[in-house]
Structure 1
Amino acid sequence: MEIDHLAVAGETLEAALAHVEAALGVTLAEGGRHARFGTWNRLLSLGEAEYLEAIAVDPEAAPPGVPRWFGLDALTGGPRLQAWIVRVADLDAAVAALPEAGRAVPLERGDLRWRMAVPEAGALPWDGVFPALIEWEGTAHPAPRLPDAACRLESLEVRYPAAEALAARLGPHLSDPRVRFVAGTPGLAAEIATPAGTRRLA
């Protein structure tokens, strides 16, 4: 498993956008809509293979009839770094090893095709700090299509009261020295290099 992208969620897309742009001092590019879950997003390159999305419920979309991913249905309060998404080569094998990740759901946006493990309840386990698993189909990926904003992920802090247990659960599958598991109230925080220096996004 390797980091694919980060998701900053807000009660509105405008709120999520403002949160990212205030924290990092950059402007996000156009994204799109996800018909399956009734959401929409804007995107920021974090390099050739990684990116960040600001995401929220799409007010023009019909109710999806199932809980939305990333726990967006229950999101309240200010916008925040809500999820980290890791890329896997074989989603079925990854879900077999980590069944709490959810079930594989086929998704698409434009010419992009992917499958993601989404829990039945929508929200990710381990109080929302467990990574979402994604498998891209074909070679199309959002990151190389985005303008280079000179932003790069330097580190990701995953906070959880039983941080050692979470690290042990993911350890056999995840090898990225940028990910740090820290004991504390559940949450995520990223250190991102920007043209104005390293900024913290939480």
Structure 2
Amino acid sequence: MNAVIDHLVIAADSLEQGSAWCAATFGVQPSIGGRHPLMGTHNRVMAISSESFPDCYLEVIAIDPEAPAPGRPRWFGLDRPEVREAVRESPRLVHAVARTRKIGMLHRELGNFALNPGELLAVQRDTPHGLLKWRITVRDDGWTECAGALPSLIQWEGHHPCAHMPLTDVALQGLVLRGLPTQAVGVLNIPAVHTSPINAVKNAPLTATLKSPRGHVVLDAGQFRG
């Protein structure tokens, strides 16, 4: 095991839209998150930990209308016209992020297989419990590798956000990543995650299954291509 799933990324047109979607989809609203000055985004978060996916959460993320433009493409494809158009209609699952204590090593090994997870960036945001700090892989074009199926890598410095996140009755039960090269699967070695080939016509690059007060919820990521 070199990495575990840390969080799912839901792109939204606004945090208000994303919160309303969570309430309608799961029967639970996310709690307050914070702002990301480096990227000009902000978020709200919701614990979705389970036995198979400990210390895991769902992030609703949107462009912060009060933040200055970051001078670079934002992460998770949030600036791309096709993503902007899609999330105006409804929030969408776009990505999963994998937590590791070996981010430098895994970053290098993925690069050795001609994969581009992005550069390692140092990021932080304020919280009522102190400063959250982490390193994360972000491509220069703001997009995600393998149409979003290759998780971004994250390594937290200090406490994990789930330590101060309210518990919920929402739990991640399963995650399928489609179209990952065999070498990437071996490098990451993520437990409880299923991988399979992708049919560009029929399959989403990733599918998450969650248990919630509204029943089982299956989320397919949009088929956005980088």
Are 1:32 and 1:41, in contact at CA under 8 Å, matched by a contact in 2?
Answer: yes
By how many angstroms is 1:105 displaced?
Answer: 0.4
In the alignment, structure 1 segments of 5+ residues that lack a partner are none
Equivalent of residue 143 in structure 1, options 141, 147, 162: 162
By how many angstroms is 1:60 displaced?
Answer: 0.4
Aligned ranges for residues 24-103 of structure 1 at < 5 Å?
24-47=26-49, 49-74=55-80, 75=83, 76-78=85-87, 79-99=91-111, 100-103=116-119
Aligned ranges for residues 132-171 of structure 1 at < 5 Å?
132-138=152-158, 140-159=159-178, 163=179, 165-171=180-186
| Cα separation, 2, equivalents of 1:64 and 1:37 | 5
Q: Output the TM-score relative to the length of structure 2.
A: 0.81
| Cα separation, 2, equivalents of 1:145 and 1:166 | 36
Give the 3-state SS of the residue equivalent to 1:127 in structure 2: helix
| Cα separation, 1, equivalents of 2:187 and 2:38 | 31
TM-superposition CA deviations, 1:69-118 (whole Å, max 9, x none): 10100122132101100001021111101131111100001211100011
Deviating beyond 6 angstroms after TM superposition, the runs of 4 or more aligned structure 1 residues are none
Give the 3-state SS of the residue equivalent to 1:14 in structure 2: helix
Are 2:148 and 2:206, in contact at CA under 8 Å, matched by a contact in 1?
Answer: no
Q: Output the TM-score relative to the length of structure 1.
A: 0.90
2:129 is aligned with 1:108: no
In the alignment, structure 2 segments of 5+ residues that lack a partner are 221-226
Q: CA RMSD in A?
A: 1.7
* Number of equivalences: 197
| Cα separation, 1, equivalents of 2:217 and 2:94 | 17
| Cα separation, 2, equivalents of 1:155 and 1:29 | 23
Aligned twin of 2:14: 12
Identity %, equivalent residues: 35
By how many angstroms is 1:167 displaced?
Answer: 4.5
Are 1:154 and 1:178, in contact at CA under 8 Å, matched by a contact in 2?
Answer: no
| Cα separation, 1, equivalents of 2:186 and 2:95 | 18
